[in-house]
Amino acid sequence: MKEKIILGVDPGTTITGYGLISCKGKKLELITYGVIKLGKLTEASHPQKLKKIYDRITSIVLEYKPDEFAIESPFHGKNIQAMLKLGRAQGVAIAAALAVDIPVFEYAPKKVKMAVTGNGNASKEKVSGMLEYILNFKYEEALMDASDALAIAVCHSYQNEATVTGGKGKGWASFLAANPDRIKK
């Protein structure tokens, strides 16, 4: 069974999170995770933030050679300027993957939370707690944006029916029946 590496990205204009996981059949393993700290720079420095995101994602792609790239899709907000800036951050991260022909997939925040916790309105703490269980690691609270990126990567891995259900059926009941070792007692 071939290993697949997925890079998940949670774009932001102050902090961009990233996380890499390995998928081999139903087994998910953490490779690495972290954040790109962009700081509270001035409006004029927004292009420099975008360059930093592009450069760092490019270096991660070149180092780890992911097979697929998953990113959080845009969501609707009330601040149009903030949404435009976030869209640019998403765009440069996507461009870094596309520059080396990595397929890109987008997921809405609620879909990511639903995939990881079973609740589309779950808190960040609930998502990170489930990730600790799924990936068998203890995350650092200071890296919450990286936790979100890992959740995006895990959500993407679950989109492959064989990973989630072993190819037989759909939904949580089938998943739990096919994966009794993943049930915490």
Chain-centroid distance of CA 151 in Å reads: 5
Q: How far is CA 87 from CA 9, 42, 90, 181, in A?
A: 13, 18, 5, 39
Which residue of the set 55, 72, 101, 181 is catalytic? 72
10 is catalytic: yes
What does DSSP say about strands 68-72 and 4-10: parallel, antiparallel, or unpaired? Answer: parallel
> Which one is catalytic: 67, 140, 145, 161?
145
132 in active site: no
Contact yes or no for 7/69 (Cβ under 8 A): yes
Write the CB contacts of 129 (distance below 8 Å, at least 6 apart in sequence).
Answer: none
For residues 125 and 148, the answer to whether their CB atoms sit within 8 Å is no
Q: Which residues are identified as catalytic? A: 10, 72, 145
